Amino acid sequence: MVVRRGEPFLAVDWGTTNRRVYRIEHGAVAATERDDRGVTAVAAFAAEAAAIRDRFGDLPMLLAGMVGSNIGWQVAPYVAAPAGVADLAAKLHRVDDRTAIVPGVSTLAGGRPDVMRGEEVQLLGAVAAELVPGDSLLAQPGTHCKWAEMAGGRIAGFTTAMTGELFGLLRQHGLLAAQLQGAVSANAAYLDGVEEAKRRDLTASLFGIRAAKMLGTREDADAAAFASGLLIGSDVVARIESTTHDHIHILAGPELGALYAAAIEANGRAAHIVDSHAAFAAGIIAIGTALP
Amino acid sequence: MVVRRGEPFLAVDWGTTNRRVYRIEHGAVAATERDDRGVTAVAAFAAEAAAIRDRFGDLPMLLAGMVGSNIGWQVAPYVAAPAGVADLAAKLHRVDDRTAIVPGVSTLAGGRPDVMRGEEVQLLGAVAAELVPGDSLLAQPGTHCKWAEMAGGRIAGFTTAMTGELFGLLRQHGLLAAQLQGAVSANAAYLDGVEEAKRRDLTASLFGIRAAKMLGTREDADAAAFASGLLIGSDVVARIESTTHDHIHILAGPELGALYAAAIEANGRAAHIVDSHAAFAAGIIAIGTALP
């Protein structure tokens, strides 16, 4: 047993480039802190865990995210979807008596491989905290945007899109980079991009950003917002096609949340932004205390 | 008048990074040479033109490609599609009495801006040389793949896709780069990518390349071919949707031509590879001698 119901413990959402530590007391977050000690910045994980206990208390510890991958501390093998709180709790990877890693979730549905590590805690926590219904579609925007279909409170299936990473690549390298340095908000140019995405012809629509400059049909100041709308819109339109949910929940901060909400609403569905930190805390408490 | 029918002249296909010079005699290519003196490598265009005449003959000269853009010698404004040989010949940009630049072609059809510079010569030449029918769909693969709908021997409309550039970005930068160093050919992995492209969900299909590695469902040696099939297939499936042509002609060398042909055939259309150098020569002769 790692965590006893009702007793305090530490939780770490430990990603590739960042990390957030929570001290959980009486089923709620008593303290939290974010830093840039992601797994790629850490070599000695046992020493890092000891340092976390020095700062936050000498308590049992549950870790989630890339810390359980082959670039992390120890590999916690994926659990195949559908997966709920009990499934993940049953497959916690024990580092020692007081330290465990939550496994990621995998799917091969429809011959399409996909994986997540860390997002599963937020997804299950959103349901556990009743922030979203047990049957719902949740989006987790970011470098790699996750879309999870929840059924009966479990992760039934999911899809990851490289939306944020593609935007970053285009903004840093290649033909469009110089044009894409402007600000992004859910403005008219953004919504034009969302509309363009409905063609489902992304590589051609991207070249259209260049052509619009050559023909003078769009100011470069609007190009980044258009490109963001095009990429997020491409993600949304593909997901809308394969879901029956009229309401879509977004686990994100306010900025990215507003962009996804605008694209979802432009595609005729209602969007609701959910607090992703609250969801993580609820999820890690549920997994930590679900142990037999 | 720049070129008299039947008299020799020089033609230059002058792109961003490369250039090909042709000496045309009696309506045929008498000499040709390719070098890396693209417009980005050249500052003094008049001196370059003089050097070309020193090597190939003191003859009238027709230039095409990025040499007519705002990073080239002088700007030859776009001619709006539909555009044929006579339309371009009527709008040649005269640098001096013996030197002219072929204008590019633009479109705003369906609210979708697009431009080409240089490709128009190959397209019109392919028809002029009877390498393709006057009503046909032509693909010109490359960093930016052009697809042109020809009608009555003119360029009726066209679409550019950033297919090759996106592949290059993914291969050089970001999450997938390390996986995409393998060889690309029209093999089984390539055709799997073409099949995946039919989902029209490119950003998610790209993340699937990572997930396939994590779940061990595809060897990394096959990842580059799969990604190439996915990108080229995305391009093909979008173009197939909006054309009635059962036969598609590809202006390309044998390697890229074979990849596009395989993707086109996997989408139920017949593919025919056409010699792009022969098409350029025929096009520049047609434009050069169409002058009144």
- Kindly list the distances between the CA atom of residue A3 and the CA atoms of A30, A84, A148, in Å, as whole numbers in the listed order: 16, 18, 27
**Partner residue opposite B201 with nearest CB, options A106, A199, A238:** A238
Check residue B5 and give its pLDDT.
79
Q: Tell whether A112 lies on the interface with B, counting CB pairs under 8 A.
A: yes
**Residue B17, phi-psi category: left (phi > 0), alpha (psi -120 to 50), beta (remainder):** alpha
CB contact (8 A) between residue A204 and residue B115 = no
Check residue B4 and give its pLDDT.
82
Report yes or no on A70 lying in a domain.
yes
Check residue A289 and give its pLDDT.
86
List strand residue ranges (DSSP E) for chain A, in order. 9-14, 19-25, 28-35, 61-65, 79-80, 93-96, 99-101, 105-107, 114-116, 136-140, 145-151, 154-161, 247-251, 270-274
Which residues from chain B sit within 8 angstroms of residue A238, using beta carbons? Answer: 199-201, 203-204
Domain end among B89, B117, B145: B117
- Kindly list the distances between the CA atom of residue B232 and the CA atoms of A237, B94, B192, B213, B275, in Å, as whole numbers in the listed order: 21, 38, 12, 21, 20
Contact B98, B60 (CB under 8 A): yes
CB contact (8 A) between residue A238 and residue B172 = no
Which residues from chain B sit within 8 angstroms of residue A222, using beta carbons? Answer: none
Which residues from chain B sit within 8 angstroms of residue A166, using beta carbons? Answer: 203, 206
Strand B79-80: give its sheet, edge to edge. Answer: B79-80, B105-107, B114-116
More confident residue, B80 or A2: B80
Report yes or no on B125 lying in a domain.
no
B291, pLDDT greater than 70: no
CB contact (8 A) between residue A108 and residue B170 = no
Q: Which two tokens stand for residue A256?
A: 């990215």
- What's the pLDDT tens digit per position in A256-286? 999 999 999 999 999 999 999 899 999 999 9
Report yes or no on A290 lying in a domain.
no
Check residue B289 and give its pLDDT.
86
Chain B residue with the nearest C-alpha to that of A158:
B204
CB contact (8 A) between residue A208 and residue B114 = yes
Structural domain for B71, as ranges: 9-117
Interface test with B, best of A171, A202, A240 (most B CBs within 10 A): A202
Q: Please give the average pLDDT of every successive group of 10 residues along chain A, which has 292 residues.
A: 82 94 92 94 96 96 96 97 97 95 96 96 97 97 96 98 96 95 97 97 97 95 97 97 94 95 98 94 92 60
Check residue A292 and give its pLDDT.
57
B109, pLDDT greater than 90: yes
Contact B205, B163 (CB under 8 A): no
- What's the pLDDT tens digit per position in A37-84? 999 999 999 999 999 999 999 999 999 999 999 999 999 999 999 999
Q: How large is the angle between the packed helices B163-172 and A202-215, nearest 10 degrees?
A: 110
Contact A292, A139 (CB under 8 A): no
Residue B170: CATH number of its domain: 3.30.420.310
Residue B14 sits in the same domain as residue B86: yes
> What is the pLDDT averaged over residues B227-242?
96
Which residues from chain B sit within 8 angstroms of residue A114, using beta carbons? Answer: 207-208, 211
Q: Tell whether B220 lies on the interface with A, counting CB pairs under 8 A.
A: no
Q: Tell whether B169 lies on the interface with A, counting CB pairs under 8 A.
A: yes
Report yes or no on B169 lying in a domain.
yes
Residue A37: CATH number of its domain: 3.30.420.300
Chain B residue with the nearest C-alpha to that of A80:
B215
DSSP assignment string, B82-103: SB-HHHHHHT-EEEETTEEE--
Q: How many domains does chain A have?
A: 2
Residue B176 sits in the same domain as residue B265: yes
Domain end among A98, A120, A142: A120
Report yes or no on B104 lying in a domain.
yes
Which residues from chain B sit within 8 angstroms of residue A202, using beta carbons? Answer: 202-203, 234
Residues across chain B: 292
> What is the pLDDT averaged over residues B263-284?
96
Report yes or no on A221 lying in a domain.
yes
Q: Tell whether B168 lies on the interface with A, counting CB pairs under 8 A.
A: yes
**Residue B111, phi-psi category: left (phi > 0), alpha (psi -120 to 50), beta (remainder):** left
Residue A166 sits in the same domain as residue A270: yes
Distance in Å, alpha carbon of A140 to nearest chain B alpha carbon: 14
> What is the pLDDT averaged over residues B132-154?
97
Report yes or no on B241 lying in a domain.
yes
Q: Tell whether B116 lies on the interface with A, counting CB pairs under 8 A.
A: no
**Partner residue opposite A214 with nearest CB, options B115, B161, B208:** B115
Interface test with B, best of A207, A218, A231 (most B CBs within 10 A): A207
CB contact (8 A) between residue B203 and residue A199 = no
Check residue B6 and give its pLDDT.
80
B287, pLDDT greater than 60: yes
Could you tell me the sign of the dihedral formed by the alpha carbons of B181, B183, B187, B191, in that order? positive
Domain end among A120, A149, A183: A120
Quote the mean pLDDT of chain B: 95
Residue A200 sits in the same domain as residue A251: yes
Report yes or no on A154 lying in a domain.
no
Q: Which two tokens stand for residue A284?
A: 């890690």
